[in-house]
Amino acid sequence: MHTLAHKRALVIDDEPLVSLLLEDILREQGYEVTVVNTHEALEEALSGKWYEVAVTDTDLATLAAMSKWSVDRIIICSGKSANELQQHYPGVPIIQKPIDEALLTQLLSEPTRS
């Protein structure tokens, strides 16, 4: 278990305002946050690093790619329909844009599934 000071989060979104909001929410929850907005930056951020949580838009990441990440928990954050997302990302928590801060905070506080 990591202490509050060592929790790391990865934000993956190509919309700067969304990334900034997610970064602020995660920092308020005690995370050290890395933000990426391109495939190249994502590859670099994941290279040899571990994150407790990744909050990602589906435009920059596929389910196949996500399964290879060194991340304890993945949360999808997208403007696409919830039904469509649930079909493509079964079992992955989804937050729709505009972002519901209370829902994200709740998801972050839930125990990680093994």
> What CATH number is given to the structural domain containing 85?
3.40.50.2300
At residue 35, the 3 state secondary structure works out as strand
Which residues span the domain enclosing 82?
4-103
| 43 within domain boundaries | yes
pTM of the model: 0.91
Tell me, yes or no, whether 108 lies in a domain.
no
Number of domains in the chain: 1
Tell me the average pLDDT of the chain.
Answer: 91
Considering the domain boundaries, does residue 109 fall inside one?
no
Q: What residues does 10 pair with on adjacent strands?
A: 34, 54
**How many other CB atoms are found less than 10 A from the CB of residue 108?**
20
Is 83 a domain residue? Answer: yes
The enclosing H or E element of 54 equals: strand 51-56
Helix/strand/coil for 51:
strand
Share of the chain above pLDDT 90, in %: 80
Each residue of 25-46: pLDDT tens digit?
999 999 999 999 999 999 999 9
